[in-house]
Structure 1
Amino acid sequence: MSCLETIHDYALRSVGIGERLLPKGEMTLCEHFTLIGSGLIWNIYYGALALLIGFFLANALAVAKASANPWARKPAEWFIFIFRGSPLFIQFFLAYEAFVLIPRMGWDIPLGFTTITVETSWLSKAWLGALIVLCLNTAAYSGEIFYGALRSIPRGDIEAADAYGMTGWSRFRRVMWPTMMRLAWPAYTNEAIFLFHATTLVYFSGFPAFQQKG
């Protein structure tokens, strides 16, 4: 089998497309790289989407934790404490067990004039269930990083914004948020690298693979 044929047969194996059985006999270097590259599709999927969604959630958590309002601050503090204080591997198992307890046929939401059934079976699948856990986990770690950066913004920057008449959202968007990102960026890139490493744990968690194979 040529290298091109190997790529054609096994490049998309991890998503259920192509040959299901592994190559027989002594595997070539091309076959090794193709199979590893096929698996990387899921690593990129989990890492990229979790970073994208977790980034916005982390910003919200950082702002909520820095808020003077206890109704916003306390939930953010507990969310960060729980997800940073427990192993990611355990979070996968607990989330899977929780998702399995949800009715498999769907969740009926009565609206008075009609009833909407929300499909829930996909929550126990790795493509979404594990992604939710990764999003929440990276949001907690990134949220703590952003919170620390938010508290480290030089007082002079905020006073200068006040002197220009900036308040509320305008001050946060134009002064505080850019400075927070600059201060948090080195630690945040480390968290992004850790997240891509952590995507491999999905394979060992309770979440089944795509179509129970791959």
Structure 2
Amino acid sequence: MNCAQTIADYAFRSIGYGERLLPRSDFTLCQQFTLIGSGMIWNIYFGVLALLSGFILATAVAVGKGSSNRILRKCSEWFIFIFRGSPLFIQFFFAYFLFLSLKGVFPIFRPLTSATLGALIVLFFNTAAYSGEIFYGALQSIPKGDAEAADAYGLSGWGRFRRVIWPTMLRLGWPAYTNEAIFLFHATTLVFFAGFPAKQQRGDALYYANYFADKTFNPFIPYPILAGYFILLTLIIIGIFGIINTRLNRHLPQDAKRKIRYRPQLIR
């Protein structure tokens, strides 16, 4: 089988299209690149949806933590504390067994026992907590002059938040939020180790990398391929977030613009 045929057979196998059986012998580099790349579809799915939905909740949590309303403030503080204070790996296991228990009583929870939705919900809450703390810090760093200028122009309530507070909060918190986005995509590999099953061997990139490592007894080929895909994904994220960062800071002088620097998190 040539490489072109391998790509045609396995490029979308992780989402149910193409050859159903995995290769059993005579593993080639093309097969490993193709199947691990196919698994990356799930990692991108988890990362993109969790990031987009988590961004909305993170903004609400940041505003809630900075609110003068004691109930909103305490709910936001505890939400951040719980999801930042516990390991993501444990959150996956706890959520899976919680959804599994609820499924027996309420059948509506059955879809949540699959990684497609269950793992996504865990990543959604986790990134919302981390991002919420980032945005809260940015919210506290907004110069008083900006808020006073908004008051002077007669802006209040939603108009004041939408036109002055929220854009400034994003501008100040965007470099740190970029690092959170990168780590979120890296954290999607933990789905493989969680309790959520990969139905019909439709796993993520780490699932296929582990498959080849077990079959060939040589982890020094599939895992570097996996790392290469994530390095490429990281560069794409930095590029996209860099464009947004430039847009957010377009009104500032060149020497005053906040540049994005990738700072990997060793412990979460």
Q: What TM-score results when the alignment is normalised by the length of structure 2?
A: 0.73
Post-superposition offset of 1:7:
1.1
2:113 matched residue in structure 1: 124
Post-superposition offset of 1:213:
4.5
- SS of 1:23's partner is coil
How far apart, CA to CA, are the structure 2 residues paired with 1:129 and 1:24? Answer: 31
What 5-or-longer segments of structure 2 have no aligned partner? 204-268
Which is further off, 34-43 or 98-107?
Answer: 98-107
| Letter aligned with residue 139 of structure 2 | L
How far apart, CA to CA, are the structure 1 residues paired with 2:131 and 2:156? Answer: 25
Percent sequence identity is 70
1:112 matched residue in structure 2: none
- Residue 105 of structure 1 contacts residue 121 of structure 1 at CA under 8 Å; is this kept in 2? no
Residues matched between the structures, number: 203
How far apart, CA to CA, are the structure 1 residues paired with 2:104 and 2:12? Answer: 29
How far apart, CA to CA, are the structure 1 residues paired with 2:131 and 2:21? Answer: 40
2:176 matched residue in structure 1: 187
| Letter aligned with residue 143 of structure 1 | G
Which is further off, 94-103 or 23-32?
Answer: 23-32
2:72 matched residue in structure 1: 72
How far apart, CA to CA, are the structure 2 residues paired with 1:206 and 1:25? Answer: 28
How far apart, CA to CA, are the structure 2 residues paired with 1:213 and 1:31? Answer: 15
What's the CA shift string for 1:63-86, capped at 9, x where partnerless? 000000011110110000000001
- Residue 126 of structure 1 contacts residue 210 of structure 1 at CA under 8 Å; is this kept in 2? no
Paired residues for 1:157-172 under 5 Å: 157-172=146-161
What's the CA shift string for 1:120-145, capped at 9, x where partnerless? 20011100000000000000000000
1:177 matched residue in structure 2: 166
| Letter aligned with residue 27 of structure 1 | F
How far apart, CA to CA, are the structure 2 residues paired with 1:104 and 1:122? Answer: 12
- Residue 146 of structure 1 contacts residue 184 of structure 1 at CA under 8 Å; is this kept in 2? yes
What 5-or-longer segments of structure 1 have no aligned partner? 108-118
How far apart, CA to CA, are the structure 2 residues paired with 1:24 and 1:129? Answer: 31
Is residue 206 from structure 1 mapped to residue 195 from structure 2 by the alignment? yes
What's the CA shift string for 1:75-129, capped at 9, x where partnerless? 110000000001000000001111111134735xxxxxxxxxxx22001110000
Post-superposition offset of 1:17:
2.5
Q: Let me know the Cα RMSD of the aligned residues.
A: 1.4
Post-superposition offset of 1:33:
1.2
Is residue 39 from structure 1 mapped to residue 29 from structure 2 by the alignment? no
How far apart, CA to CA, are the structure 2 residues paired with 1:24 and 1:95? Answer: 34
Runs of 4+ deviating beyond 6 Å: none
Q: What TM-score results when the alignment is normalised by the length of structure 1?
A: 0.91
Distance 1:104 1:17, change over 3 A: farther
